[in-house]
Structure 1
Amino acid sequence: MSGLSAVPPLPSAALASRRETVADVLREAITSGRLQAGQKLTESGVAEQLGTSRAPVREALRQLEQEGLVVSYPYRGTEVLGVSQEEIENVLVPVRLSLERFAFRKAMPRLTDADYAHLQSLVHNMEEAADASDAALLADEDIRFHEAVVTLSGQQHCLQIWRSIQHRVRAYFRRDASHYPDPTVVAGQHRELIDALRAGDEHALDRAVTAHIQTHSRTTEDSSE
């Protein structure tokens, strides 16, 4: 199956573990673009490619459907879902703006020196990824930064919403990361977010979060042209 040809057969393990492994393999293939939007996935095809039985594949596909990465149709099977520019502009970006502006404001008075050190370490990882031209790692560290702030906000409902869109967001982060004219700018934007958090000015923080998320939207629009 195209997109999975480089994956070795899975080792023997319990069903739950194999399900998670299959889900991880497929998720990585989808978010990296190796499995393209509209590409059909069959239980038998994935099972054969990964050297496993159909049961963990079936469960993995159900999990990925809940994450919004695939869709199953009666009599048609399962297809990979793409992330369209329309979805980014009309769904993901507006949801992120509302969610993250609130979460960043709530996180601001709660952050400790250790929390800031963790956020700085993620930015450092972004810098290393940019220097190595590793677009996938850059996107993943970007995701980790935003999830860290949402988690540190202490707002459990925000974290639940974030995790419900996280895999779709990662897919468009992965897509646009390779199109940054200067990938080192990404780390700089996140340092600005840290500076805004430290400053304690909610209005300035809102502006910084808004500018950052909208930059992602513009970059993705450019990459889709």
Structure 2
Amino acid sequence: MALAKPAKILSVKDQIADQIRSDIIAGDLAPNTKLNEKELAERFGLSRGPIRDVILQLTKEGLLISKNNCGASVNSVLEPKLQKLMINLRRNIEVYAIEQVKDSMTDEDFAELDNILADLQDAFEREDFTEVTKLDISFHNAIVYKAGGDELVNIWYPYVMRMRLNYKRVATGRQCVDEHRAIADAMRNGDTAQAIKALKANIK
């Protein structure tokens, strides 16, 4: 999303994973819905092999759950106590990330965050809450990746996807965008304590 970076070309499997991921975020695939490999293969015009790879990927992300002899299904909604635990774990990782990047963020990094926020505002205005969710995750992902690369992202990402926050809790797009802008502005100003405060206010 940053102007300074070329668009990433997704493989066919990544495109399919993104579509199923979007279906889950949008609620088109409800919790506990079983996935049928044959039907998915027909839907996307592929053999069942690549579909199995996609299911494995989404299982690792926490969106799906696979059981022996039962196939894969959309993971269930977290109980309130587990949701609270998941929020705390995610916060801890992102606080760590902000602390790690405090002296290494570049103008290009901040431009990337600004571009994501502009897209986030646009998605809210279109009431595309699936895209809102994905852009929200992209904003946090950019910071986590800057702090620890793929290794830290791979630890953090399943917590985010498992939470699947309901972004309709925000009355207006301005509130959500302002929450994220407060994080970016504090980081830009070198105020790590304020950035962490804004982060904790956003992840709830």
* Fold-level similarity (TM above 0.5): yes
Amino acid at match of 1:77: G
Q: 1:85 to 1:189 in 2, by over 3 A?
A: farther
Q: 1:103 to 1:26 in 2, by over 3 A?
A: same
Could you tell me the TM-score, scaled by structure 2's length?
0.83
Provide runs of 4+ in structure 1 moved above 6 Å.
none
Q: Which runs of 5+ in 1 are unaligned?
A: 1-16, 218-225
Q: Which runs of 5+ in 2 are unaligned?
A: 1-10
Q: CA deviation at 1:155?
A: 5.8
Q: Residue 182 of structure 1 aligns with which residue? A: 172
CA distance in 2 between counterparts of 1:25 and 1:137 reads 12
Matched-pair contact (CA < 8 Å) for 1:177–1:183: no
Q: Residue 196 of structure 2 aligns with which residue? A: 206
> What is the aligned residue count?
193
Q: Which protein shows a greater Rg?
A: 1
CA distance in 1 between counterparts of 2:15 and 2:185 reads 38
1:115 maps to 2:109: yes
1:88 maps to 2:78: no
Could you tell me the TM-score, scaled by structure 1's length?
0.76
Q: Residue 3 of structure 2 aligns with which residue? A: none
For 1:114, what is the secondary structure of its paired residue? helix
CA distance in 2 between counterparts of 1:150 and 1:19 reads 24
CA distance in 2 between counterparts of 1:189 and 1:83 reads 25
Q: CA deviation at 1:36?
A: 0.9
Matched-pair contact (CA < 8 Å) for 1:131–1:184: no
Tell me how large the CA RMSD over aligned residues is. 2.2
